[in-house]
Amino acid sequence: MNQDIAYWLGNSLYLNITNKCSNNCYFCFRHYLRGIAGFYLKLKEEPRPERIIEQLKRKMPMRKWEEVVFCGFGEPTMRLNCLLEVTRWIKRHNPNMKVRLNTNGHGYPLNPGRNVAKELKEVGVDAVSVSLNGHDEETYQHVCKPSFKDAYENVLAFIMEAKRANLEVEVTAVRIPEIDISKIQNLALQLGVKFRARDYIPCFY
């Protein structure tokens, strides 16, 4: 079966560059689906930047995309160098194309010693959508089961660093019983960033 590196939903072109993630959220699609919208997102191996760019060369001319989004069955900042290289290529060949990163906000602990938000901005990433599925640390640990300590604080720090780097920042949260959506919305307001609630789509075997 083919592995889809580049796939689309509406007028957004998505890039699935890794299946690895530093969270283990119980509601994540990758636990019970092989893909979405008819695309197969389970990767046998992580694609090299050259292969991703080759996919972009094929898919970019298909239609007038509104944006390119790094989002698949894993956390894109686990492959930060790849993400940066591909973004450079996109901006070099289509400077006006919006590039967005969907992330769990773990970019700094996953890439110690690096100024992740600044690097994203420098290569041309325009926006980041940060999943914050917990209104406090205890809830976040319970729902997301991160692979390291202080993950919640690291997400908040990433949001602030991204804002400081003049990236367009949006915080999102899934509507599940454990999460108080209003508290996360208020937190986003305090941080001075946008907020969007996402509906939980349950799957049954």
Q: In 3D, which of 143, 136, 74, 141 has the Cα closest to residue 110?
A: 74
The single-letter code of the amino acid at 67 is: E
Q: What is the pLDDT along the chain (205 residues), one digit of tens a residue?
A: 567 899 999 999 999 999 999 999 887 766 566 656 677 577 888 999 999 999 999 999 999 999 999 998 899 999 999 999 999 999 999 999 999 999 999 999 999 999 999 999 999 999 999 999 999 999 999 999 999 999 999 999 999 999 999 999 999 999 999 999 999 999 999 999 999 998 766 544 3
pLDDT at 27: 77
CA 106 to chain centre: 10
Residue 107 lies in a domain: yes
Query: Is 204 among the domain residues?
Result: no
pLDDT at site 180: 97
**109 assigned to some structural domain:** yes
SS3 state at 20: coil
Neighbouring residues of 187: CB distance < 8 A, sequence distance ≥ 6:
132, 135, 171
Distance of CA 38 to the CA centre of its chain: 20
Nearest to 167 by CA among 75, 98, 65: 98
**CATH number, position 45:** 3.20.20.70
In a 3-state reduction of DSSP, which class is residue 92?
A: helix
The two tokens of residue 141 are 């640990």
The single-letter DSSP state of residue 87 is H
- Quick check: is 184 in a domain? yes
Name the residue range of residue 172's domain. Answer: 6-199
Q: What is the pLDDT of residues 12-21, one digit of tens each?
A: 999 999 999 9
Q: What angle do CA 42, 144, 72 make, to 5 degrees?
A: 25
Which residue, among 181, 93, 107, 179, has the nearest Cα to 144 in the 3D structure? 179
Tokens of 196: 């969007």
Compute the distance between CA of residue 183 and CA of residue 164 in angstroms, rounded to an integer: 23
Q: What are phi and psi of 144, to 5 degrees?
A: -95, -20
Looking at the domain assignment, is residue 141 inside a domain?
Answer: yes
Mean pLDDT for the chain overall: 92
Residue 1 lies in a domain: no
Q: Judge whether 115 lies within some domain.
A: yes
| Exposure string over 29-49, b if 16+ CB within 10 A, otherwise e | ebeeeebbeebbbebeebbeb
pLDDT, residue 94, reads 95
Domain count, the chain: 1
Residue 74 lies in a domain: yes
